[in-house]
């Protein structure tokens, strides 16, 4: 009898204590990948203290030396890309090819961006003074690291999200204490391992493991900023806890992203984009196409194309492929060739998707593909689903589904499409498909979202120069690009007077005429018309000669 290869059990975390372990499971097979500790509040506070001590040294390290660590990290990640992708796939369930393209490659591009831009970003920046009275002062803007940045990261992109945020924080002189999801902690531990191998002080990046209690303990610890990615409900609790300490936050809370397909769009291209945008990572992406609006003239043809392409998708997991290769029967729905879509992360998330689909069908939506769990593959597989004739009374169009569902409805005019797209509490991203680029860009200005893509979906996240973040319930602040760098520093303005031996005109010694003289100054600087300004100059003249009391 052929033996089925079992996943290698990862060693316990070095901080593990008896009785405080939790298991990490492969979402496709439910097999245990490894065990890690539910770290205590005291352990987390100690990790923050270690990071704080290391941060002082790191902040004093020249930027070029920091970038040398980043260069080595990128080299190691590039060399070990296959093994890192396998770790991501094993605990998140996504195809390894998808882990490579949407996680590893994005992180490597981020490193290149940081190397190219951080040195100039951190240079002291002169601040010119427009007010003539202030011309005798020199102003300089400095960007200072916060200290220890606490990062709470989700399970859907377990390598790229924590890596991008961690690398940005480190590049700008901070230390990081990172709390990954308890469903996908090993990807963050890979990040930690690679950075340490690249020469990073081990205390500068502390990965803490555990469930929601560990995240709460991190919020209560002595961190100086929190970066949280997750649900709106949890994000609100994070914001409330941070507000009690006046702790600055970045919150990326997901979305209900709309796709608008205009009648002049290439239907073949747009339908392929919709299918990939809705089902990539089993729809568990904050930037997924969660609402699709198609102009009535091409509505039926667009649906036909989407259904045709959806039925060609290969569902399964690399673990199931391993079994097939070992001679164990595998359902036809999971071919041995490379898969397109893997499982969902857990049954709770699958049940949300199923409830949204049932609600839509009960309210009149047409089910054109999928719509049910693929139990023959495992408890966490859900068939990629297409719903037609949906409306905004349905949960599928109002609540974040976070699963492999493409709900589609028609529209008549551009105004109607914009109104539908903006009819949401979310505002993370959106996309518009049209063969008229100017038309698409004009429409993009009317859509309420942090990012609007014209003739593409999702890939805005992979553009390191572009800010990522939303409005409304989609969150606060930005990651990526210059705006992401600004989130990791606080601005310090240094003002240096060039006349240190001169007392200033506005100091004490006001006297009865001082107000009139200052009024003259205001007229000299700001009055409309040359005559009024000259008159103000005369009024202010005596202020130069007045006697100072102090």
**Which region among 29-33, 466-470, 517-521 has the lowest average model confidence (pLDDT)?**
517-521
> For position 544, what pLDDT does the model report?
64
Confidence category of residue 330, pLDDT binned at 50, 70, 90: very low
In b/e form, how buried is each residue of 384-418, taking b as 16+ CB within 10 angstroms? bbbbbbbeeebbbbbbbbbbbbbbbbbbeebeebb
Cα(261)–Cα(176) distance, rounded to whole angstroms? Answer: 42
Confidence category of residue 549, pLDDT binned at 50, 70, 90: low
Partner residues linked to 475 by β-bridges: 252
Among candidate residues 103, 190, 192, 286, the one labeled active-site is 286
101 and 72 in one domain?
yes
Mean pLDDT across 519-527:
89
Domain count, the chain: 3
Residue 132, token pair as written in the block = 């003539």
Comparison of pLDDT for 337 and 143, the residue scoring more: 143
**Residue 136 reports pLDDT greater than 60:** yes
**Residue 51 reports pLDDT greater than 60:** yes
Share of the chain above pLDDT 70, in %: 91
141 and 289 in one domain?
no
Residue 29 lies in a domain: no
Q: Give 81-101 as a 3 state SS string.
A: HHHHHHHHHHHHCCCHHHHHH
pLDDT, the chain, mean: 92
205 and 263 in one domain?
no
Mean pLDDT across 35-40:
96
> For position 321, what pLDDT does the model report?
45
Per-residue pLDDT of 451-502, as tens digits, reads 999 999 999 999 999 999 999 999 999 999 999 999 999 999 999 998 888 8
Mean pLDDT across 245-264:
97
Helices marked H in 245-397: 267-279, 296-310, 318-325, 347-362
Name residue, tokens 């090819």: 97
**Residue 333 reports pLDDT greater than 80:** no
> For position 327, what pLDDT does the model report?
39
**Residue 426 reports pLDDT greater than 80:** yes
Per-residue pLDDT of 279-298, as tens digits, reads 999 999 999 999 999 999 99
Q: Model's pTM, two decimal places? A: 0.92
**Residue 319 reports pLDDT greater than 90:** no
> For position 543, what pLDDT does the model report?
65
> For position 226, what pLDDT does the model report?
98
Per-residue pLDDT of 357-408, as tens digits, reads 999 999 999 999 999 999 999 999 999 999 999 999 999 999 999 999 999 9
265 and 295 in one domain?
yes
> For position 174, what pLDDT does the model report?
98
Cα(464)–Cα(451) distance, rounded to whole angstroms? Answer: 13
Per-residue pLDDT of 299-318, as tens digits, reads 999 999 999 999 999 999 86
> For position 521, what pLDDT does the model report?
85
> For position 486, what pLDDT does the model report?
98
Maximum Cα–Cα distance across the chain: 105
Among candidate residues 252, 290, 400, 523, the one labeled active-site is 252
289 and 267 in one domain?
yes
At a CB cut-off of 8 Å and minimum separation 6, what does 220 contact?
Answer: 41, 241
Mean pLDDT across 322-329:
39
Collapsing DSSP to helix, strand or coil, 141 comes out as: strand
231 and 266 in one domain?
no
Residue 161 lies in a domain: yes
Residue 25 lies in a domain: no
**Residue 42 reports pLDDT greater than 60:** yes
Residue 155 lies in a domain: yes
> For position 546, what pLDDT does the model report?
62
Per-residue pLDDT of 203-244, as tens digits, reads 999 999 999 999 999 999 999 999 999 999 999 999 999 999
Element (H, E) at 532: helix 530-540
Residue 474 lies in a domain: no
> For position 548, what pLDDT does the model report?
56
243 and 306 in one domain?
no
Residue 511 lies in a domain: yes
Residue 148, token pair as written in the block = 């220890």
**Residue 139 reports pLDDT greater than 90:** yes
Residue 111 lies in a domain: yes
Residue 212 structural domain:
43-253+484-492
In b/e form, how buried is each residue of 331-369, taking b as 16+ CB within 10 angstroms? beebeeeebbbbbbbbeebbebbbebbeebbeeebeebb
386 and 262 in one domain?
yes
Mean pLDDT across 340-356:
97
Mean pLDDT across 335-363:
91
Confidence category of residue 538, pLDDT binned at 50, 70, 90: confident
183 and 274 in one domain?
no
Q: Give 159-221 as a 3 state SS string.
A: CHHHHHHHHHHHHCCCEEEEECCCCCCHHHHHHHHHHHHCCCCCCCEEECCCCHHHHHHHHHC
Residue 530 lies in a domain: yes
Collapsing DSSP to helix, strand or coil, 497 comes out as: strand
Residue of 302, 276, 303, 297 whose CA lies nearest to 288: 276
Q: What is the CATH number of the domain that holds 439?
A: 3.40.309.10
> For position 338, what pLDDT does the model report?
79
437 and 351 in one domain?
yes
Per-residue pLDDT of 69-120, as tens digits, reads 999 999 999 999 999 999 999 999 999 999 999 999 999 999 999 999 999 9
**Residue 46 reports pLDDT greater than 70:** yes
Q: What is the CATH number of the domain that holds 70?
A: 3.40.605.10
Specify whether 286 is catalytic. Answer: yes
Partner residues linked to 544 by β-bridges: none
305 and 164 in one domain?
no
238 and 381 in one domain?
no
Specify whether 252 is catalytic. Answer: yes
> For position 509, what pLDDT does the model report?
78
């Amino acid at each position: 009898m052929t033996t089925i290869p079992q996943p290698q059990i990862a060693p316990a975390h070095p901080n593990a204590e008896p009785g405080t372990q939790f298991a990490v499971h492969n979402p496709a097979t439910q097999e245990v990948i490894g065990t890690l500790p539910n770290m205590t509040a005291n352990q987390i506070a100690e990790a923050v203290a270690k990071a704080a001590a290391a941060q002082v040294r790191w902040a004093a390290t020249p930027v070029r030396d920091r970038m040398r660590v980043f260069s080595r990290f990128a080299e190691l990640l590039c060399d070990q890309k296959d093994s890192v992708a396998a770790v991501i796939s094993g605990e998140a369930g996504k195809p390894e090819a998808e882990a490579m393209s949407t996680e590893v490659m994005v992180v490597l591009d981020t490193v290149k961006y940081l190397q190219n831009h951080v040195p100039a970003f951190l240079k002291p920046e002169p601040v010119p003074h427009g007010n003539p009275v202030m011309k005798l002062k020199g102003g300089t803007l400095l960007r200072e690291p916060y200290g220890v940045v606490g990062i709470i990261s989700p399970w859907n992109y377990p390598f790229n999200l924590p890596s991008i945020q961690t690398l940005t924080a480190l590049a700008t002189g901070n230390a990081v204490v990172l709390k990954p999801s308890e469903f996908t902690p090993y990807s963050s531990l890979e990040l930690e391992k690679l950075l340490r191998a690249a020469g990073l002080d081990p205390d500068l990046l502390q990965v803490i493991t555990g469930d929601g209690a560990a995240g709460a303990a991190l919020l209560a610890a002595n961190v100086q900023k929190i970066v949280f990615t997750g649900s709106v409900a949890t994000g609100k609790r994070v914001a409330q806890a941070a507000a009690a300490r006046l702790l600055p936050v970045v919150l990326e809370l997901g979305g209900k992203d709309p796709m608008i397909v205009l009648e002049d769009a290439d239907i073949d291209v747009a339908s392929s984009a919709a299918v990939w945008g809705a089902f990539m990572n089993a729809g568990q992406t904050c930037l997924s196409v969660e609402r699709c609006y198609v102009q009535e003239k091409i509505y039926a043809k667009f649906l036909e194309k989407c259904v045709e392409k959806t039925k060609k998708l290969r569902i399964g997991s690399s673990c199931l492929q391993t079994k097939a290769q070992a001679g164990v029967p595998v359902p036809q729905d999971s071919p041995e060739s490379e898969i397109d879509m893997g499982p969902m992360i857990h049954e709770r998330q699958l049940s949300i998707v199923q409830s949204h689909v049932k609600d839509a069908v009960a309210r009149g939506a047409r089910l054109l593909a999928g719509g049910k769990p693929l139990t023959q593959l495992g408890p966490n597989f859900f068939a990629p689903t297409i719903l037609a004739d949906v409306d905004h009374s349905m949960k599928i169009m109002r609540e974040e589904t976070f699963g492999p569902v493409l709900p589609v409805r028609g529209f008549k005019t551009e105004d109607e499409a914009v109104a539908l797209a903006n009819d949401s509490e979310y505002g993370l991203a959106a996309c518009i498909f049209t063969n008229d680029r100017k038309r698409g860009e004009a429409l993009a200005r009317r859509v309420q979202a942090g990012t609007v893509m014209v003739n593409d979906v999702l890939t805005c996240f992979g553009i390191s120069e572009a800010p990522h973040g939303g409005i409304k319930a989609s969150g606060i602040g930005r990651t990526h690009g210059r705006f992401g760098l600004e989130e990791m520093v606080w601005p310090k303005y240094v003002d240096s007077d060039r006349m240190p031996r001169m007392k200033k005109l506005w100091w004490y010694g006001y006297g009865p005429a001082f107000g009139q003289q200052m009024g003259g100054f205001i007229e000299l600087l700001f009055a409309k018309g040359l005559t009024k300004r000259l008159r103000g100059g005369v009024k202010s003249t005596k202020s130069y000669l007045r006697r100072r009391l102090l």
